[in-house]
A and B are shown apart, each in its own frame.
Chain A
C-alpha cells in the first residue's frame, strides 16, 4: 500500500475538465516535483492533495486515510507568498504551529515556555535565530520562505506541499533555498510535493518529476479535455537512474 495514493481522479469546474484520469502512487519519503505549462492543472492537483478542493471523481488518500474534506494537520503547505502571518513575530509564527491546534489558539504557562524553547531550536536550525523578535515584513523573501517551511514542519505534517515556493526569489537566493531544503531533508525524512515552473529545479530536488499535460487536444475547443500525468521521470542520481547499474556490471566477475 503506497503512502499517498491518487485513484482515477477527475476535476472539473463548471463542466470544464481540468484534470482527468490522474493515478499516482507515492512511497513515504519521496520528493515529487510537479512541472507543466501554465494552466495545465498542476496547482489544481496540489489543491486536491491539500484537500482545499474535493475531486469531482476519484479518491486522494494520504497515509491510508479517507479522502479529507478540508485542510488539516496531516498536510503542511508553503505558498509562493502570504505563507506566514504578518502580525506575529518570527518566533510567534513558529509557536503558532503548535498553539493553533488548541481550543482557543493560545498557549499559556509551562506549555508556552516549552513551545518557545522548541521554537528557538527550530529557528537556530533554519538560521533565523537572530531575527526571532522581528516581524516577517522585515525579513527578505528567502528568509520568509525559510520561516514558512520551518513553521509548516513544526506542525509535523505527514506530507509537505510546496506551491512554487521559490518562484518569487532571485536566482542566488533560490540556490541557497535548494541547499537548505536538501539539508533539511537529509536530517528529517519527509514526503514532499513541489509544484515548480523550473524544470531544472524539479530535477535537482526531486526523486521523481511529474509532468502534467493534455493527452487529448481538440484544436477547435482547447478546453474540451483535461490534463493528466503524461511523464513520470525518475530524477534520482541526476536524472540518470540506471547509471549505477552500469557501473556495477562493469566490474569483472569473479567466479
Chain B
C-alpha cells in the first residue's frame, strides 16, 4: 500500500501525537542529568524536579516583601494588555473591513493605505510609541493594535468582497439599504472569520506583548522572564514559558469552542 493511503488506528494515532512531547522531555532530562553529573551547581538545564518545585513555589507562595504572588499579578497584567489590544484590533478590523469591502468610496480611500500600513514593522515603531504614550499600559496596547489590526483589516475586507454578488443583489431586491446589508448579510457571515483571525493574530500579539514588556515594564510575564535572565534562573524562565504556552493554548481553544457554538451554520468551513 502507498504511504499516502496508510492511516494509523485510533490508539496508534494518540500514541504518535504524544511521541514528540515525550521525546523532547526525555532528551531534556538526559541532557540535564549529564550536565548536573559533571557540575551539580549547573544552572543551564535544571532537573525536571527542580523546575516542578520552582513552579509550585511560584504559583503558591507570596513574595515576602509585597505579600502578593507575583506570577498571578504578572499573568493578570499581561492578559489585560493582550486581550484589550486584540479586542480593540478586532473591533477596528471588523468596522474598517466591512466599510472597505462594501463601499467603493471607502475602498478607494483606505485599502491602499491599510496595505502600506501593514508593511510597517510594528516593533520599529515601539520607541515612537514609548515617546508618545509613555512607558505605561497604553503604549503596549497600542503596539499590539498596530501590530495586528492592519493585517486583520485586509483579510476582513477581502472576505466581504468574496461574499457572492448574488447575495448582495438579492438583499437589494428585498428592499435592504446599505446599512441593512452590512448588519444582516455581511456582518453575520464574516463574524466566524473574525474569530479565526483573532485566533491567528494571538500569536503575533503575544510576540509584541513580550517584546514591549521586555523593553520597559514593571510587571508582566515578559518582563519577569527578561528580569530573571540576569540571574540565569532557568527554572523560573522555563516555568513562565510553559505557563505562557498553556495560556495561549487555552485562549485558542476557548475561541474555537465559541466559534463552533455561535456559528452552527458555518460548521463545515471552520
Contacts and interface: CB of A to CB of B under 8 A. Distances in A.
Given A87-B266, A100-B184, A137-B265, A50 B169 contact: yes
B188 A96 contact: no
In this complex, which of A82, A83, A151 has the most chain B Cβ atoms within 10 angstroms of its Cβ? A82
A87 B263 CA distance: 8
A152 B179 contact: no
Interface in B6-60: none
B183 interface: yes
A137 to B, nearest CB: 7
A231 interface: no
Given A86-B265, A100-B174, A135-B265, A71 B169 contact: yes
A81 B180 CA distance: 22
Contacts of B164: 81-82
Given A77-B169, A83-B170, A87-B188, A104 B183 contact: yes
Contact of B189 (A73, A86, A148): A86
Contacts of A50: 169, 173
Contacts of A99: 184
Contacts of A146: none
Contacts of A151: 170, 174
B98 to A, nearest CB: 14
Nearest to A52: B169
By DSSP majority rule, is chain A's interface helix, strand, loop, or mixed?
Answer: loop
Interface string B247-259: 0000000000000
Interface in A127-148: 135, 137, 148
Interface string A77-95: 1010111111110000000
Contacts of B263: 87
B263 to A, nearest CB: 8
A79 B170 contact: yes
Contacts of B177: 103, 105
Given A96-B184, A105-B183, A85 B176 contact: no
Contacts of A83: 166-167, 170
A109 to B, nearest CB: 18
B108 interface: no
A78 B179 CA distance: 22
Given A105-B179, A105-B180, A105-B184, A87 B189 contact: yes
Contacts of B170: 77, 79, 82-85, 148, 151-152
Interface in A148-173: 148, 151-152, 155, 157
B172 interface: yes
Contacts of A135: 264-265
B268 interface: yes
B173 A85 contact: no
B175 A101 contact: yes
In this complex, which of B166, B173, B177, B183 has the most chain A Cβ atoms within 10 angstroms of its Cβ? B173
B171 interface: yes
A208 interface: no
A92 to B, nearest CB: 10
Contacts of B264: 135
Interface of B: 164, 166-167, 169-177, 179-180, 183-185, 188-189, 263-266, 268
Q: Which 8 A-B pairs have the closest CB atoms?
A: A101-B175, A105-B180, A82-B164, A100-B176, A71-B172, A82-B166, A105-B184, A100-B174
